[in-house]
Amino acid sequence: MELLVAYDVATDTKAGRRRLRRVANICVGSGQRVQKSVFECTVTDVQMERMIYRLLREIDPMQDSLRIYRLREPRSTHVQVFGLSPPVDFGGTLIG
Q: The pTM is what?
A: 0.79
80 compared with 25, residue with greater pLDDT: 25
For the chain, the average pLDDT equals 86
Instruction: Give the rounded percent of residues in the chain with a pLDDT score beyond 90.
Output: 65
Name residue 70's beta-bridge partners.
Answer: 3
For 16-45, how does the pLDDT look when each residue is reduced to its tens digit (9 = 90+)?
A: 999 999 999 999 988 999 899 999 999 999
CA distance 60 to 15: 10
The answer on pLDDT for 92 being more than 90 is: no
Predicted confidence at residue 75, as pLDDT, reads 65
Q: How far apart are CA 9 and CA 16, in angstroms?
A: 7
Ordered structural domains, the chain, with CATH: 2-73 (3.30.70.240)
